Structure 1
Amino acid sequence: MTCEGCANAVTNVLNKKEGIGNVQIDLQGNRVLVTSALPSDEILQIIKKTGKACQFLGIKK
């Protein structure tokens, strides 16, 4: 993600999914932090619907 438009697209698609608690976009770090009980694979599939490549980096404790 390189712009606010990309960030908004990812945020909007994630916020439509029930079970997503919080979405934080770090444009500079090119990361998305999602608070959810959903499996990471499901969240990745949701993000990929925006046309953005993504990968799971881990769980923040």
Structure 2
Amino acid sequence: MSQTVILKVPMSCEGCAGVVKEVLETMEGVESLDINMAEQKVTVKGKVKPDDVLQIVMSKRKRATLWEAEAKPADNAAGT
């Protein structure tokens, strides 16, 4: 089943984005990807697992998180 995985990945230059793009293009199951440097956001679509996508990006970029994980603390704080 195809799904969308969104990561928050700190990228300061085209070289950083290129490294992320290169590693994801070689990942099995990836159908498409979009890198938005302004938002520090990487969107991957395909037959992939979120944890697998995160791990492969973290193998090249030390800091990366699932986008949803970034949003959860704010959601929890607002709901209390």
Structure 1-normalised TM-score?
0.86
Distance 2:62 2:21 in 1: 12
Q: What is residue 54 of structure 1 aligned with on the other side?
A: 64
Q: What is residue 7 of structure 2 aligned with on the other side?
A: none
Aligned-residue CA RMSD in angstroms? Answer: 1.0
Q: What is residue 36 of structure 1 aligned with on the other side?
A: 46
Structure 2's unaligned 5+ residue stretches are 1-10, 69-80
Runs of 4+ in structure 1 deviating by more than 3 angstroms, as ranges, are: none
Structure 1's unaligned 5+ residue stretches are none
CA deviations 1:2-56 (Å, max 9, x no partner) are 1100000000000011101111110000010111221100000010011231111
Structure with bigger strand share is 2
Is residue 6 of structure 1 aligned with residue 16 of structure 2?
A: yes
Larger radius of gyration: 2
Identity %: 33
Is residue 23 of structure 1 aligned with residue 33 of structure 2?
A: yes
